[in-house]
Amino acid sequence: MIDNLPQLEADALATITAAADSEQLTDVQTDVVGKGAPLTLARRDLGSLPPEDRKAAGQALNEVRARIEQALETRRSEIAAVERVAQMETERLDLTEVSESAHIGHAHIVTQAWEALEDVFAGMGFRVAEGPQVETDWHNFDALNIPPGHPARDGFDTIYVEHGEPGSTLLRTHTSPVQIRAMLTQEPPIYIVAPGRVFRRDTADSTHLSVFQQIEGLVIDKGISLADLAGTIEAFTDSYFGSDFSSRLRPNHFPFTEPSAEFDIQLPDGSWLELGGCGMVHPNVLKAGGIDPEEWSGFAFGFGIDRLAMMKFGVDDIREAFTNDIRFIRQF
Ligand code: FA5
């Protein structure tokens, strides 16, 4: 066999090159360098050679083996590269492909209402502002003219958070604290709307949720009057609902506005649904926001976005919108 070394090497290299995939190459490897391979067996023949020839023959065998092993390695990486490309091709997902039966999703009705509201107010010259959902008691109550012990605090079933002094941190019960944050960070005139999530320990029913969304509005400028508030709400109602809907302002009380009103819209059955509160910003609130009430005045409003969505889409139980029942969601 040792005489045959060049032929043996040529045969081994040819079978290695011919291996088409990694499985075949593993078989070839056993055939050419495995225990029963001619090259391995040839080592046994060394003993039968005259001692002076053994060293050179052993060296020749080792060199052939090294070349064959190198060829195996090269072929293995070539095959791996080809197999990787093939695997990528077969496992490729076409993310742009739309199956006939697939339903394309769309925004939830509350998101649709939220975005439409931002559009309506942006069209009226308002900027969109934001505030944190975890709020300080001061921003949520004190700065809004609701000091500790004020009866209005009972009206908001507040969820407190264990952070800092007991009772100092809460999940905001309304978006009104964004009024304070806007006043403290911007110079008037201010024209903002602030949509966002709010939290109360309210029991869910057809018009109440414990986690819901409000959109706050705040205008601070020179010479702002109740007529500006009424005009803004009317322009908003026409633009959001269309002119077929009737709305009304009803006197009410909020500690942070004076005078205050509730904003209702009429349902098809003739009854009225409360959508939000509004009023002229109380001088104490302007002061808490670092604004001089002698120089500036303003109005504010806070509407329930979920209720606006109910009205717009004709949903009669607000809880339906949050059951994640696809049959409900697909209707809109
Ligand atoms: C407020 O939260 C005042 N911050 C609104 C305000 C802002 C008044 C600025 C004056 C000036 P009220 O608690 O009434 O007010 O809530 C306002 C609106 O949020 C309600 O009219 C209703 O549309 C919605 N809302 C209140 N509670 C819930 C609830 N549990 N589930 C769904 N919507 C609610």
Write out pLDDT tens, residues 206-250: 999 999 999 999 999 999 999 999 999 989 988 888 877 788 999
Mean pLDDT computed over 263-288? 91
CA of 207 from ligand 1 middle (Å) equals 11
More confident residue, 203 or 98: 203
Q: What angle do CA 60, 66, 69 make, to 5 degrees?
A: 140
pLDDT (0 to 100) of residue 2: 66
**Residue range 3-29, pLDDT digits in tens:** 788 888 888 899 999 999 999 999 998
Nearest CA to ligand 1 atom 30: 208
Q: How confident is the model at residue 55 (pLDDT cuts 50, 70, 90)?
A: confident
Classified as helix, coil or strand, 273 is strand
Residues 73 and 114 in one domain: no
| Residue 214 alpha carbon to ligand 1 centre in Å | 7
- Which of helix, strand or coil describes residue 151? coil
- CA 256 – ligand 1 centroid, Å: 13
Token pair for 178: 């964004």
Residues 243 and 321 in one domain: yes
190 and 225 co-located in one domain:
yes
Domain of residue 60, residue span: 2-91
Q: pTM above the 0.75 mark?
A: no
Q: What is the mean pLDDT of residues 130-137?
A: 97
**Do residues 290 and 254 share a domain?**
yes
Domain assignment present for residue 96? The answer is no
Nearest residue (by CA) to ligand 1, atom 19, is 304
Q: Is the pLDDT of residue 1 over 70?
A: no
List ligand 1's pocket residues with C-beta within 6 A.
174, 176, 200, 202, 208-209, 212, 214, 254, 257, 260, 274-279, 300-304, 306-307
Q: Whose CA is nearest to atom 7 of ligand 1?
A: 302
Distances (CA, A) of 188 to 192, 221, 255: 11, 6, 22
Q: Are 64 and 118 in the same domain?
A: no
Whether 23 is in a domain gets the answer yes
- Using the mean position of ligand 1's atoms as its centre, give its distance from the Cα of residue 29 in Å: 77
Burial class (CB in 10 A: 0-12, 13-18, 19+), 41: exposed
